[in-house]
Chain A
């Protein structure tokens, strides 16, 4: 039945709960500082592990007596499968490593080809320059029938024209 006092009961419950929550939290912190409690908890863990181990062994014994594969047998087979998988993955690691090396080598090879091509271009340019220089050196000495000073520069320009092209072409 709803009355004016009921909301206060709800609020009181909430307040009590909050107090309980706070008190429990600080009490628990104290408990976790207690060496007796921690020692007992540690022992509890140890005994639980021991009991579990004994149980597993007894189940294994029973299965063995019935000539059935035990848990240890299954675990042993699973471990072998895991080892085989690890070996396969190691091979995969090696293949991936080799692939990386091949890619790196391919990169190096491409780089070497680029460098060789660049060197050939450079050589060709040097050769062209040398030829040009040589051509200039082979210009015949001026004679009586030689062109006048006014026409001489155009002859030089013809010589300087790119190879395969004639001046004025």
Chain B
């Protein structure tokens, strides 16, 4: 029997109240060791269990969110799933930029990534690593694989924008922005600027989430699961202004990876130079990185490219039901296939 107040508006109100009053559960609980630090950045190592595989996997998350999305909670953790399957797993945690990091551009970020991958390979005593990139982290991993192929055994990208001209709502949003004026080069672009921009990508989702919270509130475990995801969404981190300006200008406005106009340290980033096996995973219900923006990478790389589309969303693919069911085994299987 449904009570009269059980109309969506009432449920949304209840969801809002729950979100406002319930403490957020902890995240990033998988045991690990920090093997490298550079300023705000650190590389976390998740020791493998069972039969140890030789080639490490280095996970590169996005810069605008906390890295623990890849280790959200027990049972919904990509790092734990890979470590349990015997892969020496390393997570590049970009940390939270401080005002002194405002001038770091894409080249500086790639140099930090280069050192992180190097340290991970040394720690694993392996010459090369499988690089896994998620969202903006995938774009960086792709650029890294094109610029420094010696350290890369294979590349996996998840919901990664490469063909920015098809970047959907976000591409439309930043198409005409004057990057020099909007993103001061020596300053940080704070979450107060980025969060509304992302909320504008899915205005309906901002309301629907309260319904999901209200629906989950009847089961403590389910509620914890929804709230830990909300915690991650709330904890945006600022982005160095120089990085934001370059990413929007060279990526979204010039489509620099497809048009081969993106120059890093005096060299054009040429995706054809990626000669390693590449797995491109896209999500059919992704409004941040539409399939048309991510899938072309499989054809643009010089090596064997494979595209897999999953019927899920941008975040659900990692922490939703599809993660443990389809996505984690997919990454594990690919790594076993292409690297010892």
Give the contacting residue for A24; candidates B1, B122, B203; CB below 8 A.
B203
Decide: A89 near B38, CB < 8 A? Known: A32-B169, A42-B176.
Answer: yes
Contact B39 A82 (CB under 8 A): yes
A interface footprint on B236-249 (CB within 8 Å = 1, 0 otherwise): 00000000000000
Contact of B172 among A24, A32, A46 (CB under 8 A): A32
Q: How far is the CB of A132 from chain B (nearest CB, A)?
A: 49
Contact across chains for A45 and B177 when beta carbons are under 8 A apart: yes
- Contacts A21-B204, A32-B173, A38-B175 given; does A82 touch B8 at CB 8 Å: no
Q: CA separation between A50 and B180, bound complex, in Å?
A: 11
In the assembled complex, A93 has its CB within 8 A of some CB on chain B:
yes
**CB-CB under 8 A for A46 and B203, given A39-B176, A53-B187:** no
Is A107 part of the contact surface with B, judged by Cβ < 8 Å?
Answer: no
What class of interface size applies to chain B in its complex with A?
A: 35 or more
CB within 8 A of A48: which of B1, B98, B174, B193? Answer: B193
Name the residue of chain A whose CB is nearest to the CB of B6: A10
CB-CB contacts below 8 Å: B14-45 with A: 38-39
On chain A, the residues within 8 Å of B118 by CB distance are: 93, 96
Answer whether A45 and B182 are a contact pair too, CB < 8 Å, given A2-B1, A25-B204.
yes
Q: How far is the CA of A87 from the CA of B203 in the complex (A)?
A: 46
A121 at the interface (CB under 8 A from B): no
A-B contact count (CB 8 A): 91
Chain A CB within 8 A of B99 CB: yes
* A6-B4, A13-B8, A21-B208 as given contacts; A49 in contact with B181, CB under 8 Å: yes
CA distance A82 to B122 in the complex (A): 24
**In the complex, B178 has a CB within 8 A of chain A:** yes
Among B6, B102, B183, max chain A CB count under 10 A is at B6
Q: Which residues of A contact B181 (CB under 8 A)?
A: 46, 49-50
**Contact mask A66-78 → B, CB, 8 Å, 1/0?**
0000010011001
Q: Which residues of A contact B4 (CB under 8 A)?
A: 1, 6, 9
Q: Which chain A positions have C-beta within 8 A of B100?
A: 75, 78-79, 81-82
CB–CB B2/A89 < 8 A: no
With a cutoff of 8 Å between Cβ atoms, the chain A residues found around residue B336 in the complex are: none
Contacts of A25 in B (CB 8 A): 204
The answer for the CA separation of A29 and B168 in the assembled complex, in Å, is 9
- The residues of B that contact A10 with a CB separation of less than 8 Å are 2, 6-7
Query: In the bound complex, what is the Cα–Cα distance between A32 and B290 (angstroms)?
Result: 15
The interface residues of chain A lying within 8 Å CB-to-CB of B211 are 17
Nearest-neighbour CB distance to chain B for A117, whole angstroms, equals: 28
Given contact pairs A6-B2, A45-B193, A89-B38, a sample of 18 additional A-B residue pairs in the complex whose CB atoms are under 8 Å apart: A6-B1, A9-B4, A9-B7, A13-B7, A13-B9, A38-B173, A41-B173, A42-B178, A45-B177, A45-B182, A46-B182, A49-B184, A53-B184, A71-B99, A75-B102, A78-B99, A82-B39, A93-B115
Q: Sample 24 A-B pairs with CB under 8 A, ordered by A number.
A: A9-B2, A13-B7, A13-B9, A14-B8, A16-B8, A28-B169, A28-B204, A32-B169, A33-B172, A38-B173, A39-B176, A41-B173, A41-B177, A42-B174, A45-B193, A46-B178, A49-B182, A50-B181, A53-B184, A75-B102, A78-B98, A78-B99, A82-B100, A85-B38
Name A's B-contacting residues (CB within 8 A).
1-2, 6-7, 9-10, 13-14, 16-17, 21, 24-25, 28-29, 32-33, 35, 38-39, 41-42, 45-46, 48-50, 52-53, 56, 71, 74-75, 78-79, 81-82, 85-86, 89, 93, 96
The 4 closest A-B pairs by CB, nearest first: A13-B7, A78-B100, A10-B2, A45-B182
